[in-house]
Amino acid sequence: MIEGDDFCGYTYHLIDEGCDTGNVLIQKKIAIYDFDTQLSLYYRVMFEAVADFMNAFDMCARGSVSYKRKYPWGNMFYEF
């Protein structure tokens, strides 16, 4: 919002020995609207992320993890 971004998002990823270097399980892109405040955007992102939590959990529990590899240098952002 501060830098004029049109989108934000969240990521569920596997945990490994690095910092934010685990492979991506689920990643969602959320639009930032002109009327958004930091609080309204926070609530929308958290609502979506919580709704997806069980999907990420189930993927791990079933062993049916289909993930996307993050950049090899461990960048915490992945292309949407």
Q: How far is CA 53 from the centre of its chain?
A: 11
Predicted confidence at residue 22, as pLDDT, reads 73
Give per-10-residue mean pLDDT for the chain (80 aa).
86 78 82 94 95 89 66 50
What residue type is 68 in one-letter code?
K
| Cβ(56)–Cβ(26) below 8 Å | yes
Predicted confidence at residue 63, as pLDDT, reads 73
Predicted confidence at residue 44, as pLDDT, reads 95
Using CA atoms, how far apart are residues 75 and 80, in angstroms rounded to an integer?
14
Predicted confidence at residue 78, as pLDDT, reads 47
Predicted confidence at residue 35, as pLDDT, reads 94
Supply the pTM of this predicted model: 0.71
Using CA atoms, how far apart are residues 16 and 22, in angstroms rounded to an integer?
5
